[in-house]
Structure 1
Amino acid sequence: MRGEDQFIMDSLSPFTAISPIDGRYRNKTFELSEYFSEFGLMKSRVFVEIEWLIYQVKIGITPIDVLSEEDMEFITSIKNLSIQQFVEIKNHEKITLHDVKAVEYYIKDKLRNSNNRKLKQLVENVHFLVTSEDINSPSYSLTIKHSIEKVIRPELAKVIEKLTSIATNYAEDPLLALTHGQPATPTTVGKEMAIYVKRLSDQLKNNLDKLKYYGKFGGATGNYNAHAFIYPDKNWPELCDMFVEEHLGLSYSSYTTQSESHDFISLICDTISRINSIICDLSVDMWLYISRNVIVLKTEKGQVGSSTMPHKINPYQFENAEGNSEISIAILQFLSRKLLRSRLQRDLSDSTCLRNIGVAFAHTLVSLKSLNSGLDKICINKDQLQNELDKNWSVLAEPFQLCLKKSGINVAFEKVQSLFMGKSVQKSNIKNIIHELCQGDTKLEDKLSKLTPQNYIGYSPELAKKVSDSYNIQYDYNMYV
């Protein structure tokens, strides 16, 4: 960024921002401002307008037949919008009261004021045969696409990578499971983390990476009316399709009103919302494990957990992730519903709503970064893991009743239930319980005596270790850059 641009950006102090996205969390969300700020959106609009101008020359509907290397260099330079040039656009908008028209006038000024007589002939081809939504639709699609590929996806991949490491490192560490808040069949720490590896990887590979981003370019009501009237010999549906797909790198939305239907944005909102819901689930689970002291947080020098209770080490990163994901979900679910509807061939209520998609993405990004920070600070408390299991020998009721059934003992479930349900079952009295249940069957008694809450963990270790193979994803954080 140029020196004067940086000065202007720095003068927009986070300390005076109303939204925490641009205030308190600015250090976590600044990457998204490149795409979703007013400056970012204007830059995208300029990009689309310039690409359309170049394309018009290519298809032969301009006063000039070809652009030289020098011509292309100048026209392309207009796309590199600076903050100072953005201010020029905003000055136009003060008069036009129309943002896209302001972009048009800005580009026309650049061409008129150039020293290239040839390019001055293109002035009236700026914003030619298009309506504002032909510029806005692909502009928003590009900002959404780039923000997901370059910011959201890499941060999500980091979460998955860290969870995979935790899953494999703690694959064999037994953990007392709780169902309905009550002691249940043991698992391992690693396997429980592997669940989230699978869930988030599935969302990334099967949904996020398969999203399509659409743009419309069919004119005032989507019928190419002006195109067909002015240049009837051209195949405009085909030409506009080629422009959107080949020049902008988007999928073409061929059936539209004045605005693109936003079905794909609704799908994107649903996908990001679902990822946020999984993040919420994980964050709450981590909070609960920390509250049980089976997972502990590493402390940082100078860290304070409470203004009045010096002993506190709070799981604030996971709480922050949970809260920001909940806010993001609320906005995304609203947008998913709202953007599917438009009055007849167009109303403007979607415009102000679309401006908030960046807010939802920013809360998602804060959540992901907070979660990543929290995952960096956790470790297991093996003593507490052992202690919980030692206090809950009753979890062996399940394998006991099944072994009894297999051995042909009648009413096995009920017999085990009478000795376990509501009773204090400890290591000290388990031997007597086994002896009573086995009714003199020494082989069965020997088999049950080898069981402990620590070794009754099934395939948990194997499942945890395999998750890195089964759900391996692309961790190249810059793969889309």
Structure 2
Amino acid sequence: MAGLDQYQNPLNSRYCSKEMQYVFSPRNRFSTWRQLWVYLAESERELGLEISEEAIQQLKSHVRIADSEFETAAIEEKRRRHDVMAHVHTYGLAAPLAAGILHWGATSCYVTDNADLIFLRDALNLLLPKLATVISLLSDFAIKHKALPCLGYTHGQPAQLVTVGKRTSLWITDLLYDLRNLERTRDDLLQVFRGVKGTTGTQASFLTIFKGDHLKVEALDELVTKKAGFEEPEISTSQTYSRKIDVDVLHCLVSFGATCERIGGDIRHLAMFKELEEPFEAEQIGSSAMAYKRNPMRSERLCSLGRKLRNFGGDAEQTYAAQWLERSLDDSAIRRISLPESFLCADACLQLLNNISSGMVVYPAVIQRRINAELPFMATENIIMALVEKGVSRQEAHEQIRVLSHESGAVVKQEGKDNDLIERVKNNAFFDPIIKDLDALTDPRTFIGRCPEIVEKLVNTKVKKALMKYGDVKLNGAAELHV
């Protein structure tokens, strides 16, 4: 097999989707360069420059770079030590009628930077419906379990009851923030196309080509921008688009990475408690040594990739801050790594979130057992209030409950036995006035407040509104993991 003696990036070989890999692939990169050269030549012709229609058609017929042309470009790059000029030469060989006007007035960043903006836009457009699908899957799960009581935790300690659905709604709320961040970033990108700006952003070369006609230079900028699918060109750029844009784009991915690690951590804790499990396939092996293990490998991978994703923000920040004047090339190598890999990482996280959300398993009996261990203590206030309503002194009721609670606590902590506080209450004549009400006073469903209503309101308002533009996301189906 080819490539087995070379390092393979696991984002490609194990984790992310084919469509995201294609966005940042060599074929898409160089084919996009060619499309940008077509846009430039077309627009220059439309504005009166002497470029034949035959030359344009020849360019268009060879926009998708052929396999054989990669070798030609590689030979040229080795000779010329310039990737863009190597591809100008290669494209010119495929379209000889256009070779003389190819790249007319442009600098290398016309194709490299405009292409990068196209890749960022397209990659965001791939992520958005995948994130919408995850939110939809989790919303279905939350609705299904909106009223299933479970033990809540604050400070890592048992706290007031919540429900499985209400806890899931916390994840959904954070993912809705991520959806808005990604949408905003994508929409902002549409306003900042680099367009045609020349070597230092002055448009001097195009002003020369159009004999000092400023209106035609501006029209050229607008035409190319619209052809590329953007709304407006940035007014002022240097040789490159501002690397501040990369900071903003990667920040929204970084924030999403933090969400992934948070959700993955919650699922891992719940799996540790045996309350909830991610999907586990019939022949899946949890451990090579411990055959009984059902390790939460998907959630662990989600945490791992989310953590990596969170670290890409520093690349963009430091690269932007280190730029000199109209541009320096120390941004090139790092961006070739950090921009594609951040999106591949985010895509891999969404693959995992989709897969996990499509098959989470809840164990109500285990959840009930954990509630039973703690609820008697939580119910003591209800018991005291009920006694007061029957005319019993609040202070005397408090003292009786305090003594029994400490006795029961000692049984739990020192003897490792079940919480027997309710049995102690039932066997103590002091509590006879409320014995018939005891089941109701200790019913877990009376401790969950408005959890079901909160879940329903979130899903029926914010989620419904946010996902409306994405159509029936359930048609996307569950994501299949490669490994």
CA-CA distance at 1:293 after TM superposition? 0.7
Residue 239 of structure 1 corresponds to: 219
* 1:305 matches 2:273: no
The CA deviation string for residues 216-261 of structure 1, in whole angstroms up to 9 with x for no partner, is 2211111112222342023255224413431112241221111111
* 1:84 matches 2:93: no
Residue 349 of structure 1 corresponds to: 330
Q: Which moved more, 1:238-247 or 1:13-22?
A: 13-22
* 1:391 matches 2:373: yes
2 CA distance for matches of 1:307 and 1:326?
Answer: 26
CA-CA distance at 1:462 after TM superposition? 1.4
Residue 32 of structure 2 corresponds to: 44
CA-CA distance at 1:299 after TM superposition? 3.5
Q: Secondary structure at the match of 1:293?
A: coil
| Cα 1:359–1:388 shift into 2, 3 Å | same
- Pick aligned residue for 2:165 from 190, 194, 199: 190
| Cα 1:236–1:267 shift into 2, 3 Å | farther
Amino acid at match of 1:188: T
- Pick aligned residue for 1:249 from 215, 222, 229: 229
- Pick aligned residue for 2:50 from 42, 47, 62: 62
Residue 241 of structure 2 corresponds to: 260
CA-CA distance at 1:15 after TM superposition? 7.7
* 1:459 matches 2:455: no
2 CA distance for matches of 1:390 and 1:312?
Answer: 26
CA-CA distance at 1:317 after TM superposition? 0.6
| Cα 1:401–1:229 shift into 2, 3 Å | farther
Q: Secondary structure at the match of 1:314?
A: coil
CA-CA distance at 1:39 after TM superposition? 2.9
| Cα 1:207–1:35 shift into 2, 3 Å | closer
Q: Please list, as runs of the form range in 1=range in 2, the aligned pairs for 1:149-160 lying within 5 A after superposition.
A: 149-150=125-126, 152-160=127-135
Residue 193 of structure 2 corresponds to: 215
Q: Which runs of 5+ in 1 are unaligned?
A: 1-10, 113-119
2 CA distance for matches of 1:77 and 1:318?
Answer: 46
1 CA distance for matches of 2:310 and 2:319?
Answer: 14
Q: Which runs of 5+ in 2 are unaligned?
A: 410-418, 476-483
Residue 374 of structure 1 corresponds to: 356
The CA deviation string for residues 11-50 of structure 1, in whole angstroms up to 9 with x for no partner, is 754784432123344xx34322212123322222111112
- Pick aligned residue for 1:180 from 155, 161, 179: 155
| Cα 1:35–1:176 shift into 2, 3 Å | same
Residue 313 of structure 2 corresponds to: 332
Residue 127 of structure 1 corresponds to: 103
CA-CA distance at 1:389 after TM superposition? 0.7
Amino acid at match of 1:239: A
Q: Secondary structure at the match of 1:185?
A: strand
2 CA distance for matches of 1:478 and 1:147?
Answer: 21
Q: Please list, as runs of the form range in 1=range in 2, the aligned pairs for 1:91-130 lying within 5 A after superposition.
A: 91-112=75-96, 120=97, 122-130=98-106
| Cα 1:29–1:63 shift into 2, 3 Å | closer
CA-CA distance at 1:111 after TM superposition? 2.5
2 CA distance for matches of 1:450 and 1:235?
Answer: 79
Q: Secondary structure at the match of 2:13?
A: coil
* 1:74 matches 2:65: no
- Pick aligned residue for 2:203 from 224, 247, 259: 224
The CA deviation string for residues 174-233 of structure 1, in whole angstroms up to 9 with x for no partner, is 110011111101000011111211221232135435522232221111111222234202
Q: Secondary structure at the match of 2:104?
A: coil
Residue 7 of structure 1 corresponds to: none
Cα RMSD after superposing both structures: 3.4
User: Are 2:40 and 2:224, in contact at CA under 8 Å, matched by a contact in 1?
Assistant: no
- Pick aligned residue for 1:365 from 347, 368, 372: 347
Number of positions where the alignment pairs a residue of Structure 1 with one of Structure 2 = 450
Q: Secondary structure at the match of 1:218?
A: coil
User: Are 1:434 and 1:445, in contact at CA under 8 Å, matched by a contact in 2?
Assistant: no
TM-score scaled by length of structure 2: 0.83
Residue 3 of structure 1 corresponds to: none
| Cα 1:298–1:321 shift into 2, 3 Å | closer
Q: Which moved more, 1:245-254 or 1:280-289?
A: 245-254
CA-CA distance at 1:266 after TM superposition? 1.2
Residue 427 of structure 1 corresponds to: 422
Residue 114 of structure 2 corresponds to: 138
1 CA distance for matches of 2:347 and 2:88?
Answer: 33
- Pick aligned residue for 2:145 from 170, 182, 185: 170
Q: Please list, as runs of the form range in 1=range in 2, the aligned pairs for 1:404-419 lying within 5 A after superposition.
A: none
CA-CA distance at 1:161 after TM superposition? 1.6
CA-CA distance at 1:57 after TM superposition? 0.6
2 CA distance for matches of 1:276 and 1:222?
Answer: 35
User: Are 2:285 and 2:291, in contact at CA under 8 Å, matched by a contact in 1?
Assistant: yes
Identical residues among aligned pairs (%)? 19
2 CA distance for matches of 1:371 and 1:38?
Answer: 28
CA-CA distance at 1:297 after TM superposition? 4.5
- Pick aligned residue for 2:274 from 280, 293, 309: 293
| Cα 1:478–1:300 shift into 2, 3 Å | closer
The CA deviation string for residues 322-364 of structure 1, in whole angstroms up to 9 with x for no partner, is 1011112212332244235411111011111211211121122
Q: Which moved more, 1:404-413 or 1:303-312?
A: 404-413
| Cα 1:280–1:244 shift into 2, 3 Å | farther
